[in-house]
Structure 1
Amino acid sequence: MKTPSDIVGARVRAVRQRRGWTAAQLAERCTEHGAPEITASVVTDLETGRRDKDTKRRRRNITVDELLALACALDVAPVHLLVPTDGNDPYLVTHDRFVRPARAREWVRGRHPLPWSDPRLFFSEVPAEEWEPPEMTQEQMDRQGRMSEIRREVLDRGPGRRTMSGGVIGPDGEEIPDEGS
């Protein structure tokens, strides 16, 4: 199972490539945003897990400072580097706890506690002026995750299964709407 640092490395690479930037160009943007310690070689090491010369370990761990600087330089929310934006593979929160990516994003955004958490404690640190009730119940998040799995399986079967409205036909013959709908 991939660690959060592994995911950040892969997400940084994917976003950087979509922007059409080299590692050096991303490093230059990091410098412009006040993080000159993120050099092109640091970007490459984070993305590929290249072995550190001194410790002989892969440099995949990322600091909070680096995560925020990279998100700023790439012009994305940190959550979109930290948690996968597609797929439904389990997301490793700690060495022995994992949740679906949708649940992890809700947790990182402060919208929903983790399943094993006490909601009273989780929401106790939210400033009163920022309080909003949770947008989705656990059941709704589980349903969304199951729908994503079904949708991915159906799309993997090949072309010709899409509907006019952009959804797909599920295994039961019913239309599964596009997730963005």
Structure 2
Amino acid sequence: MQEISDVVRQRIRGLRQARGWSLDALAARCHLSPSTLSRIETGHRRIDLDQLVALARALDTTIDHLVEPVDDADVIIRPLQHQEPGLTTWVLSREPARPGGSLVAKMRITPERRPSPERLAVHPGREWFTVISGTALLHLAERQIPVATGNAAEFSTMIPHFIGAVDGPVEILTIFDQEGERAHASA
């Protein structure tokens, strides 16, 4: 596992470079000398807490983001499977959608999942999906739109909608906003 001090140095350098700033430009913003900043970035000098605070402020980030540990557990998501007749869902996001956030899920839909008037969902927001395999049948009010492998669809969820399968199973990758997650989780 990488030492946290190395991670912090890489993040400082990466944020500085992403902003297109030279050592001189960042040093001026956080009231350090360019040589001190260079030694901090290269590991030839320890970072003092007051320097870390100044660097975080100058880089428009938080100390938490600079010192957050790197761990494989933060990268790998082991999705749990939720199953109901005709639909299997795997949530691929680490956390439920936060305000302004979104939730990513993989869905496997089989033809036994059929639309009915009470299954047409309506809720605030937008939904997006791409078809990984098979053909999805997107029901938008009275319209039925086939969406083939490799294609994507995006629509207002204020339109009554339902996603089914055509001639066999379909797998999709979908993104819900917070309202969409709430509506589909309770469906």
TM-score (norm 2): 0.40
More strand by share: 2
Bigger relative CO (Cα 8 Å, ≥ 6 apart):
2
Structure with max Cα Rg? 2
More helix by share: 1
TM-score (norm 1): 0.41
